[in-house]
Chain A
Amino acid sequence: MRSPRQPPFLARKTYRRRRMMDAARLLPLLGIFLFLLPILWQPRLTPEPDTVHGVVYLFGAWTVLVIAARVLARIVMTEPDEGGPDDRDEAG
């Protein structure tokens, strides 16, 4: 929590950055979700061949994750001045 006297845009910036850190923490969960999704299709039981679709899907998901990781890494690393206090809350 920021003190109310601070200019609002500053607090918003910090707030945004923290949420991006949350996103960085949650990104692997999205990765797990995307990579395990094919299990639900049960490609083994369906009659038509699925390898082609599988290749397209897996590499598509992979690309999405790489791009997302790149964007998040950039946001999270660009404002090192806020690093100190923000790092604290996850340590415990």
Chain B
Amino acid sequence: MTRAALSALLSHWRNNPLQLVMLLAGLALATALWSGVQALNAEARSAYGTAENLLSESGAARLEHPSGQIDQAEFARLRRAGWQVSPVIEGRAGLGTGRVTVLGIDPLSAEAGVGAALAAADLEGFFSGLGYAHPQTLDEIGPTDHPLRATQAVPVGTVLVDLSTADTLLRADGRITRLSVSPIQPDGLQPLEILAPELRLIAPEDGAELAGLTDSFHLNLTAFGLLAFAVGLFIVHSAVGLAFEQRRAMFRTLRALGLPLRSLTACLAGEMVLFALIAGAAGLGLGYLLASALLPDVALTLRGLYGAPVPGSLQFDPLWALAGLGMTLAGTALAGAQALWRLWHMPILAPAQPRAWAHASGRTMRLQAGVALALACLATGLALTGDGLIAGFTLLAATLLAAALAVPLVLAAVLVGAARLARAPVAQWFWADSRQNLPRLSLALMALMLALSANIGVGTMVASFRATFIDWLDLRLVAEVNVLPRSQSEAEALHAFLTPRADAILPMQRIDATLGGQPGQVYAMKDHATFRENWQLIEPVANVWDRLAAGEGVLVNEQLYRRAGLRPGTSMLDLPGIGALPVLGAYPDYGNPLAQAVLSLDRFDAAYPETPIRQFAIRTNDTPGLIASLQDDFGLLSTQITDQAQAKDLSLTIFERTFLITRALNVLTLSVAALALFAALVTLSGMRLAQLAPLWALGLTTRHLAALELGRALALGLLTMVFALPVGLLLAQVLLSVINVQAFGWRLPMQVFPADWARLGLWASAAVLAAAAIPALRLWRKGAAQLLRVFAHER
């Protein structure tokens, strides 16, 4: 019995192959976008795990000096006192044709971890200079003077070597970067505060872990994946709903012939599971391809923004595949639940005529309006009182859903108004008929609205960010030349060399520190017009620059200012080795995930003596002459010099990469929405024949009807676009003033870009026309024969 029933039910799809293709495509695309994003996230998180497990499996605490360097003697003293500490040297160095992070460990004292295990595999080789690196790193840097062995266990961009090899590569002069502290220590040790008061013990959870730093980035990706998944589910819901309507007569017949309701429902549920598995498998394949295509850019972004070592190639994880299939099944259940519920409650003798989707009824419209209103209230409440990233994303979701649910209501009102204003009979019919068919297209139009408003919102956010970022870069990167000394002695020599040749020499020194409970850095700032004239401060106190120069307080970056809720003039900030200092103002610091504080150079030198100079920013009015002199007379390598243009290019490249994935997902979401509209129009075109046939009989040509169908799709698309515009701007405002502040710690002014909207409008129109073209073309070319069949079927 079940087999016969299944066979009857499945015959519907045999007769409507395009509908089946749309259902499977919608499901596969939804799965692909969601699982693609998940694959990216999983790959990145796995890479963070690799990085964190390299030195210790259990997460070791570390000892650091504010200057970033620890003397060998200090290490020896602690070991003699019984402390189980292990030295680590870490720094950036040129190797082969690239630059890598050199990580030097002492395998004999190192905590059990991946690094120690690698070294132990060939201890003799390791001691004599053998290093380990990710295969991708080896490809990137090419052949080197040092023997390197490939391993997946070392993060991309890092080379693991013995301490002495690292010392040579980094010219560390015997100075250790930090000491790794074993979690298990002998009893009765003298406390570190007494033994080494100048060293700071940093617990593993206090460090700037990559997973924590990059959380917002991954949350953004997940939100986009979820949006695309939701848009895909609109297609599925639409296709399942239509198939249900078309098979009402069959359901009635099957039940009249003795098939129990339970079996019928089970058959339909089974059918959905089957489709979900087929489409889910295809979607996983597509998702894997998508993630593979996007991963290199995501990896570059994560490396550029956070220094996160993410490889550019994707590994297959069976758990990811299972989770993706699970999501597809859950999505299908969600999309098909309404159809199954209606079947379960359908009386056996329910009318067999397909009626319009339930949305057509005034009751459903009222319900939809009620839900939209409730969501709008929730969004308003969250906007006024919400706090945190989750609240921010809930606000976004509620805003988008409320707007999506309002789409049919708004469009219905506009179409009714247009029908009233129309004078010509065809125009009158056009608007009235559009209103009547609105419920059948509403799901696709809601998906289109979601995609368009997401495009406008994210586009406005990115463009606003870009404009602000470029202005900010112009002010921030005013130094004509930057040079990177390789050692402190070279820095001193450079300073002496530059003094008669440059207008100003601005040294860059910094220490790592925990600021306001967050991982961060303290910088030294020389009092100079470069900063006074170009840095635009947020809430500065009076005479801020004079007070900073006098060492009376600190400037903090916007991230720290917002996250720690600091108020210039009243708040104090604790600095290691100094204590609490007044906060004098905040400065924008886009693209930096860390907290930052700026001290006057004198105050910094007094608090953190011997901190190496990492960079000089040089003001000059003869950039080419100075660069030539630095290379020819001083002997500086070209890789140690960057001019202003290079620095700006680098920053902009990182910026563009950061939003590359966002743009890609934007385009994909719009494509899915176009597909949803195409699916709705194609399936609707069959049902439309009965509505169009009388007009044809009354004297409208099929060409005229096809043009009207195209015009209707375009009009609905454009009306949706007009509605999406304020929603998108609202979305941008939420992104800029809520999500960005929560995720990154900076607030940006919103700017509007009407040219971008016009471009998006053209793209959306093209997508809508492309979606409507095939049904319209079919109506034009083969319409007469199909329309005639409407009259023939009357008997």
Are A and B a genuine interacting pair, yes or no?
no
A residues apposed to B, CB below 8 Å: none
